[in-house]
Structure 1
Amino acid sequence: AASAIRELSPLMGTKSLGVDYGLSRTGLAVSRGYSSQPLLTLRSNNATDLAIQITRYCVSEQASQVIVGLPLHMNGTENDQTILTRVFSQRLAESILASMGPKVPVYLFDERYTSKEAAARMHNRDPSLALYGTLDADAACIILEGYYGDNGKGAELVTLPANIAEVAMAKYKTKTEKAEQARKAALLEWQTATKRRKEEMARLRKEAKETEANSGEGEGGGKKKKKKKKKKKK
């Protein structure tokens, strides 16, 4: 029954980027459908730079959505880290909108227990591993697993203030227009080069035929006709 529900899930086949945000370390993971795997851990305390880096991975992984873990107290109430994560998620949403457009949403999803579970997984794999080596990326992976396991229920869409969204969207349109202009210019250049090659090949074939024809005429004109000798009557 569970497998049947998963097959009918609208999330099946979608590719997501999971983010376990931290002030100094941020873990990333990728997921297609219900299969998740850790990606890497970014080290940065600059929120703007971090948002740009994550956006680049979102582009390279061709993610259709981003899931940011939302830290909460065990009783579900918010704390200081919750506020910082909300602020960062808006900065990330702005960066993604400016780069990828409105079709790649950013969601916040409850990340309680993920760090403990990630540490437990690392210990089970290899007790000698450094705790912070892949802990954050594993936590991001668990965030994705929870999101897909609940079919996205409880996820909170990150929305931007109208003025910020307008500026980001304008950047995206400008970027898209420039990319389209570059594509058209490249296509025109290719078409022009192809036309020139065809014209050059046609010219060379024509010259070759003319040379062959002239050569044949020269050989024919250079031959001397042999005169038939008349037999003398005896």
Structure 2
Amino acid sequence: MPENKQPARFLGFDFGEKRIGVATGQQTMGTTQALCVLKAENNQPNWQQVENLIKEWQVEAFVVGLPLNMDGTEQPVTQMAKKFAKRLHGRFGLPTFTHDERLSTAEVREYLFELGGYKKIKDSDFDAYAAELILKSYFESEQ
């Protein structure tokens, strides 16, 4: 990617110790889409699955949700999310950003209700929708 070119296609991650939600988005169009939830062991996904998603969606950058307390202070999982972001960058060499995800859980519930209610969404997909909202929020903050 040329130095002056902004990344257009992103993967967004809602990091969790056992599950990592993944979404994709196009920053120039402002579009996002929940993709999947990856199982995590020892706070890490199957990196081959991540690589497959990067290739499939032609990703140019990552956004990792940063779980903070409501007062903005860090919690134990905040450091794990930062470490995950560093691992992503180290493995794949793509620009990696973190983004405050403090309200994502409440927003996901609201968003899923708009999509037709919780009954239509499996619990296992919840983290993917959280990743989508993190990405959407990141795009809005960058405009």
Number of aligned positions between the proteins: 137
Q: Which runs of 5+ in 1 are unaligned?
A: 1-9, 98-103, 153-234
Report what 2:96 is aligned to.
106
Alpha-carbon separation, structure 2, partners of 1:121 and 1:29:
15
Closer, same or farther in 2 for the Cα pair 1:49/1:142, shift >3 Å?
Answer: closer
Report what 1:224 is aligned to.
none
Alpha-carbon separation, structure 1, partners of 2:118 and 2:61:
33
Q: CA deviation at 1:44?
A: 2.2
Describe the SS at the equivalent of 2:72: coil
Closer, same or farther in 2 for the Cα pair 1:143/1:11, shift >3 Å?
Answer: farther
Report what 2:26 is aligned to.
32
Report what 1:122 is aligned to.
112
Structure 1 stretches of 4+ with a deviation exceeding 3 A read 10-13, 46-52
Percent identity over the alignment?
A: 28
Contact 1:65 1:106 survives alignment (8 Å) = yes
* 1:37 partner letter: Q
Report what 2:131 is aligned to.
140
Greater strand proportion: 2
* 2:97 partner letter: Y
Q: Which residue, 8, 15, 26 being the options, matches 1:14?
A: 8
Q: Which has the higher contact order (CA 8 A, sep 6+)?
A: 2
Contact 1:21 1:85 survives alignment (8 Å) = yes
Alpha-carbon separation, structure 1, partners of 2:6 and 2:90:
26
Alpha-carbon separation, structure 1, partners of 2:87 and 2:7:
27
Tell me how large the CA RMSD over aligned residues is. Answer: 2.3
Greater gyration radius: 1
Q: CA deviation at 1:82?
A: 0.3
